[in-house]
Amino acid sequence: MIMIKKKNFLFLGAVAVLVGALLSGTLFAGYFLWTDQIFVSSAEYAAYKKNEKTYGELAELQTLISEKYYVPVDSEKLRESMYKGLFAGLEDPYSTYLSKSEYEQLMISTTGEYQGVGVTIEPDANGYINVVAPMSGSPAEKAGVKAGDKILEVDAVKYTGESIDAAASAMRGEEGTKVTLLILRGEKNMEFKITRAKIEMKTVSSKKLDGKIGYIRISSFEEKTGVDFEKALHAMEVQQMKGLVIDLRGNPGGVVSAGVTVADALLPEGIIAYTENQKKEKQYFRSESGATDIPFVVLVDQGSASTTEIVAAAIKDHKKGRLVGTTTYGKGIIQEIAAFEGGGATKLTVMQYFSPEGKTIHKVGVEPDHVITLEEGDYVDGKLPEENDRQLQKALELLR
């Protein structure tokens, strides 16, 4: 931001206008004002004056509260609230200002290790904290938390979509300590007492199924996911698997580059996805030649979101594999994180992504080629046996 002394600015502006009129006989809308070797267009000057008025009023309000509120105020909290309020005006639950502690907590998720309950959450359109999916093997999953649940309280403190970062921080804590979640499932409130644990985000696991069919599960997309998937896929190729099930159910997404690496290993040369910003500028993600020859089926559900949907949509458009399950979550936007020296940061939605054929994913999701829904009766003691997993069984049927 250019700081200009008001008095000098106005005076030199008048001189510039006068000189321009004398030399040309006309007054241009785009004239330039000069001060201290800085050139400013008339449009920039108008924006400067508008901001001066807006933030001048904001400073007056801050002073009013600080001086006259009936008890002393925390100036740091007041400042953070002003920043958060600015982002709240976007009415975008994915864009926000992050305090130093909130930013530090967000960065934990990219390291692949933290202590907590192991659940991925997103704010929904109704202001709730929505469970995208519990992480595989996590305390939350073992306690019975499911995709689609709404978190109302953490240790008797109410939280909403607007305070989702605070709720995430409250659910984290020292290994072995307990936390109580009040959850809304359908129209029923349910309480879960969960013991926090060390969450090691091993995102890729694999095994052999009967009939020379391989199975690879990707629980989320983190920094090492792409490389780990390539290793698992190579092992399947060495073992000459006749088919492959790739399970992306409950995968909330994550690092886009990891999803691109996975898609690149599965798809022929071409477009994986493309993004578009407010200026309609496009950026393309492409796959190279050398895709696997193993036929594959991908499992998805309502908990498959974000980067997972990039992979699923690309596979569907390329018609290289088939999708089985239920329509995905529908988060087709990308956030950019910008950190400040003071420790805070911004998380701002900067672009939307589309399938190779230009299909919209945001608020729509990706519909499978074969829609198969799981029922409550398929679960035994909260777990889904392979023989009861109708989505998995449909995938095996297609491969065999």
Q: Tokens in use for 2? A: 């250019």
Q: Work out the number of other CB atoms within 10 angstroms of the CB of residue 223.
A: 15
Q: Tokens in use for 299? A: 């499992």
Residues 6+ apart with CB under 8 A from 19: none
Q: Which of the residues 219, 306, 320, 347 is marked catalytic?
A: 306
**Cα-based torsion angle of the residue sequence 298, 299, 305, 309 in order, rounded to the nearest 10 degrees:** 20
Question: Parallel, antiparallel, or unpaired for β 113-116 and 119-123?
Answer: unpaired
27 half-sphere exposure, CB direction, 13 A CA radius: 7
Q: Confirm whether 224 is a catalytic residue.
A: no
Contact 216, 209 (CB under 8 A): no
Q: Give me the amino acid identity at 366.
A: V
Contact 332, 307 (CB under 8 A): no
H or E stretch covering 274: strand 270-276
**Nearest 5 degrees, angle CA 250-CA 252-CA 258?**
115
H or E stretch covering 287: strand 282-287
**CA–CA gap between residue 53 and residue 60 (Å, rounded):** 11
Q: Which of the residues 316, 320, 331, 394 is marked catalytic?
A: 331
**CA–CA gap between residue 229 and residue 210 (Å, rounded):** 21
Q: Work out the number of other CB atoms within 10 angstroms of the CB of residue 80.
A: 17
Contact 321, 245 (CB under 8 A): no
Q: Which of the residues 149, 228, 264, 317 is marked catalytic?
A: 317
Q: Confirm whether 306 is a catalytic residue.
A: yes
For the annotated catalytic residues, the residue numbers are: 306, 317, 331
